[in-house]
Amino acid sequence: MLNEKEKLDALANLGIELSRVQDLDIVMEHILTEARRFVNADAGSIYIREKDMLHFTYTQNNTLQQRLSEGEKLIYSTFRIPINKESIAGYVAAAGKHLNLTDVYSIDPSCPFHFSKEFDKKTHYKTQSVLTIPLKNHHDDVIGILQIINAEDASQKVIAFSQDDERMMLHFASIAAVALERAQMTRAILLRMIQMAEMRDPKETGAHVNRVGGYAVELYERWARRRNLNQREVDQGRDILRMAAMLHDVGKIAISDLILKKPGRLDETEFTTMKQHTVLGARLFSDRQSDFDEAAAQVALNHHERWDGNGYPGHVDVQSGKAKKGYAQSGGRPMGKQGEQIPLYGRIVALADVYDALSSARVYKDAWDESKVLDTIESESKKHFDPELVEIFFSSLDFLRAIQRRYRDTD
């Protein structure tokens, strides 16, 4: 448990920390982790407001986590509840006021809201004390809900949340809300950019890029864990990678609709043009002003390289698009990058992109059955893909599927 001095220090750091981290998903994880640490709570959830519904998006649960083997994460389902006075979270969102409940199994029957026992039943968890706080933006609108569950004393006995906890969490929620609102805005801007740039078709936005970003981060985290990379480094890395991965095909902005939307197979000339989307994308970020520009250029340029060296565009100069000095083959064609010559983010997004492309319908193909997708990925280990990443892919399959369910195509 944290003492008072540690709490003050942590609070001072939190604002700084959250202002650095920009990606929406990662902001929410930070918020939950820090909130739970502050009041020594076993579990917590975040709900994000979508019009008149609350979307249950993030949850952490130490007890359930400990039932898993080391390194595994909880898989949880997302769901939506209406904002009305019947549920605890709905009530808090509707009223705009926090609620501190000592035991949700003995809520006074005269209260308008009820505790839903479904989650406990499904997971054999015992929810008891619940502190639920609205996250409000600067217009005082509720943009989400922070729910902290089961405060524990030093001997891990569940206790009520104190008034001190309440005050602490209210302050905390105001910082978190600012970070959340900003991350939501950035995400919206990013998605709009991608929608305009890449797809040019309102039906084809959002889901694909969100999935590729999600898969890439999942693979990266596990890759980093195997190497015991420092957590702060990993947090920064995955934040940047998610955005970069979402923009992997942004170079398609320069490819004509005739090719991009062609319902059948591309001929050789068309495919040669299409391949340009890698270099064109990388050029957009070639100023390399920030780590993000660097990563986005890396991903755009390298996401179609192959581990065996037969990918594209190969060792090219981004500005000219021609082979780099010393890397020209006969006819001036650039040599392909091979193995670890391909930057990590490129190798990761290559796998994430193909997994998603095969699993989804495209203008030129139907979606494949999962078994066929998995067979292909397995047999492409060491050919198309980094074999270590393929191994990691199969060990994280349940999580990748959960991401797939979370970002379904709208039809």
215 binds, among Fe ion, ligand SIN, ligand C2E, none (CB under 5 to 8 A by kind): none
Q: Which residues contact 402 (CB under 8 A, 6 or more apart)?
A: 75, 76
Dihedral angle of Cα 152, 153, 157, 163, to the nearest 10 degrees: -60
| Residue 204 in contact with Fe ion, rule: CB under 5 A | no
Residue 137 or 186: the one with the smaller Cβ distance to ligand SIN is 186
| Residue 353 in contact with Fe ion, rule: CB under 5 A | yes
Question: Which position among 187, 304, 337, 347 is part of the footprint of ligand C2E (CB under 6 A)?
Answer: 304
Tell me the backbone φ, ψ of residue 133, rounded to 5 degrees: -130, 130
Q: Minimum distance between the CB of residue 284 and Fe ion, rounded to whole angstroms?
A: 14
Question: Which of 111, 142, 32 has the alpha carbon at shortest distance from 101?
Answer: 111
| Residue 361 in contact with ligand C2E, rule: CB under 6 A | no
| Residue 169 in contact with ligand C2E, rule: CB under 6 A | no
| Residue 364 in contact with ligand C2E, rule: CB under 6 A | yes
Interacting residues toward ligand SIN by CB under 6 A:
22-24, 87-89, 115-116, 119, 127, 183, 186-187, 190, 204-208, 243, 360, 362, 409
Beta-bridged to residue 60, according to DSSP, are: 44
Residue 128 or 359: the one with the smaller Cβ distance to Fe ion is 359
Residue 30 or 252: the one with the smaller Cβ distance to ligand C2E is 252
Both tokens of 11, joined, read: 């609070």
Phi-psi region of 382 (alpha: psi -120 to 50; beta: other; left: phi over 0): left
Distance (Å, rounded) from C-alpha 405 to C-alpha 407? 6
Report the DSSP pairing between strands 130-136 and 79-82: unpaired
Question: Which of 31, 8, 60 has the alpha carbon at shortest distance from 174?
Answer: 31
Q: Minimum distance between the CB of residue 107 and Fe ion, rounded to whole angstroms?
A: 48
DSSP codes of every residue in 129-145: -EEEEEEE-TTS-EEEE
Q: Which residues contact 96 (CB under 8 A, 6 or more apart)?
A: 134, 136, 140, 142
Write down how long the chain is.
411
Question: Which position among 265, 325, 371, 411 is part of the footprint of ligand C2E (CB under 6 A)?
Answer: 265
Distance (Å, rounded) from C-alpha 126 to C-alpha 120? 6
Stretch that binds Fe ion, among 157-165, 175-183, 184-192, 347-355 (CB under 5 A): 347-355
| Residue 363 in contact with ligand C2E, rule: CB under 6 A | yes
Stretch that binds ligand C2E, among 24-32, 126-134, 234-242, 360-368 (CB under 6 A): 360-368
| Residue 198 in contact with Fe ion, rule: CB under 5 A | no
Residues 199-258 within binding reach of ligand C2E (CB under 6 A): none
| Residue 394 in contact with ligand C2E, rule: CB under 6 A | no
Residue numbers at the binding site for ligand C2E (CB under 6 A): 262, 265-266, 274, 304, 353-354, 357-358, 362-365
Residue numbers at the binding site for Fe ion (CB under 5 A): 249, 353
